[in-house]
Structure 1
């Protein structure tokens, strides 16, 4: 379980590229349909020309037969009269007998025949061998090549036009994306929708403008709230610290006057703990206010000695281990200097160690540092399976927890703020790893 939100690894699909691709595909499809229609028209015109010639020949033969009572020879040398399908050339006879309504037949060695029925009772057929009159077949390869080159040329021009159109279409979107991407939480852009055209992009810009305006107002309310919280919390904490300091100075003076050699009493130890707790609460409040405001600390990358921070956190939370057979193991690997905000890291350590100390009844709590990661392990009961997936959500806690369920939620927000990665491992206790690389 990680405190960082997994990045979106889905493949980027460029809108401009899709526009160009779809435009080119559409142009190729139109070109292919145009080529098919062109070939169909060419063959249709060719057949119409042949049919017209045969019609003229049939009219001439019919007129001569009516005038003389005999059928003359056709005027065109490529045409013959047949008075039965049985007298047709062998290469088409069987097909003509099997398909009496068919008018066009393919013969051998490139010959091509057309049949025109002059009369049916008795049957009179006009047969024309038209292979020398076919115009489309000899130039079919050239026509195909011409259509292909034309399609490629038209597609190239269409792609170029689509590229210009897509650039012009997506330019406002890119400008809007750049505007939103460069926006800072404390300086959200306002009244920018008027810069964009009155179309779908303009609608999107106006919607974003309204949303960012609402976010800006919410951030302003949060800043005002955090300022009030800062004042209201810091004032009583300062009063507590000053009161404890005054009490300690009075007690120290009284003891030196009455019993100079007297050891500090229980009351003094308790007051010292109250003072330390108030001081730590003051630092914690400051850290949480920084988190609430989403402000990056100026010393985020300052050098920090880890060992004193861990030791201090152990001492501050040691009361949680009173009466428990629990051993705290602080590994020498924590003697390192790291690049981190000391206050942030102290809040993190306090939350993690207080949880470990509170819920470990016996066994061991160990703190180590390895591969730029802080490791805190305990032999406690672990995390219940039903809340494990949501353990870093605010208000989520175990059945026997006496807290409010905000400890790990604060740690999660702190990690997100500092660019750290938090991993929680459950089993034979709990192991929490904080990778301090950003």
Structure 2
């Protein structure tokens, strides 16, 4: 493709160069011939004025003082070759003969005894023609110089075509060598012209395309990891329902698996749309209070076990949907792993939001889906440019979140 562009550009420049040379050569020849004819015509007009003055003074035609111009008193006195090409009514004419003569004829109207009389001036200009003689004598030199100039012009056209197309060729080569997942950088991006604009737009487009592909791969991987465990539990529980009716524990497991799948799907779709969810100023305390109210509605947990230490107003930069998903999942994980009797403490100090929950020493450790849950929480925080760190312990579990502060 790039080579074809260079060839087309070279062909256009070369064609324009040759056309320009031919046009100027033709124009120079036309100017030379026209100048030569005008010079001969000017000589005839000067001689006609001199003959007319002598006619007025002496009343007769006198020979011309130039050896190139002959005065004829009537049309019939003109040579046969001239009369064959110039009619009597023509005021002037130019005659080419097969024998090499080149005539210019000028009619001269005089008055004799009150009657008009037409005489003729005939100039044989073959000996003084310059253009044809110049073409014969130095035509080879002129043609050689013209061919040399055309060759130089073609070399210049080739150099210009190569120089102008080279950035596009380099851009196409770099785009062709891009590998999936590699960093996108074009060497022509800093140019101030259209090629630089095209390189920057291609960088942006390739980067966005790679981000979309990465989100799609992450979404596919997360769906496979996060939904497999609750689907397996639901499948096993329903398989056992054929042998005996579902008890309260089995029904609770089904509800828990359904809730977990719904929350996971919400998180996965939010992460998949993270590029289309811009960050805005969000009041974090209000989001935490909404999540706590939802937690109390959905889980049998004593609110007296909650310790809340937050400022009156806490403004951060985030996406409201992602913030709600992050806080909801942190609180749900705290109840899931700490049990219904755990104490939850939420505090904000020195730019860090801490969510602590107690873990009973004698309680069997519940790790169902938690590693994958940590991964999702980490990706939610990264999508908002937040930091999140998990601190597990024997009796306490702490999640430290550093949000982006509002300006």
TM-score normalised according to structure 1 size: 0.48
Paired with 2:188 and 2:124, the residues of 1 have a C-alpha distance of 75
Q: Verify: 1:69 aligned to 2:42, yes or no.
A: no
Alignment of 1:117-266 (within 5 A): 117-119=107-109, 121-142=116-137, 144-189=139-184, 192=186, 195-232=189-226, 234-235=228-229
Q: Pick from 19, 22, 27 the counterpart of residue 37 of structure 1.
A: 27
CA contact (8 A) 2:75 2:88 kept: no
Q: Verify: 1:51 aligned to 2:41, yes or no.
A: yes
**CA deviation digits over 1:158-206, x for unaligned, max 9?**
222222222322222122222222211122415x477341212122112
CA contact (8 A) 1:193 1:209 kept: no
Shift of 1:129: 1.4
| Aligned equivalent of 2:4 | 14
Q: Verify: 1:96 aligned to 2:90, yes or no.
A: no
Shift of 1:102: 4.2
Indicate the larger mover: 126-135 or 158-167: 158-167
Shift of 1:56: 2.6
| Aligned equivalent of 1:5 | none
Q: Verify: 1:112 aligned to 2:94, yes or no.
A: no
Alignment of 1:340-351 (within 5 A): none
Tell me, what secondary structure is at the counterpart of 1:96? coil
Count of equivalent residues: 233
Tell me, what secondary structure is at the counterpart of 1:197? coil
**CA deviation digits over 1:280-332, x for unaligned, max 9?**
xxxxxxxxxxxxxxxxxxxxxxxxxxxxxxxxxxxxxxxxxxxxxxxxxxxxx
Shift of 1:149: 2.7
Shift of 1:99: 6.4
Distance 1:95 1:159, change over 3 A: closer
Shift of 1:233: 5.7
Shift of 1:84: 1.9
Shift of 1:65: 2.0
CA contact (8 A) 1:172 1:196 kept: no
Distance 1:16 1:80, change over 3 A: same
CA contact (8 A) 2:75 2:119 kept: no
Gaps of 5+ in 1: 1-10, 248-438
**CA deviation digits over 1:25-54, x for unaligned, max 9?**
111111111111111111112112212222
Paired with 1:75 and 1:124, the residues of 2 have a C-alpha distance of 16
TM-score normalised according to structure 2 size: 0.51
Distance 1:90 1:57, change over 3 A: same
Distance 1:40 1:143, change over 3 A: farther
Q: Verify: 1:86 aligned to 2:79, yes or no.
A: no
| Aligned equivalent of 1:311 | none
Tell me, what secondary structure is at the counterpart of 1:128? strand
Shift of 1:98: 6.4
Indicate the larger mover: 209-218 or 58-67: 58-67
Paired with 2:117 and 2:25, the residues of 1 have a C-alpha distance of 44
Distance 1:194 1:137, change over 3 A: closer
CA contact (8 A) 1:188 1:216 kept: no
Alpha-carbon RMSD across the aligned residues, in angstroms, is 2.9
Shift of 1:210: 2.1
Gaps of 5+ in 2: 111-115, 241-407
| Aligned equivalent of 2:355 | none
Distance 1:193 1:139, change over 3 A: closer
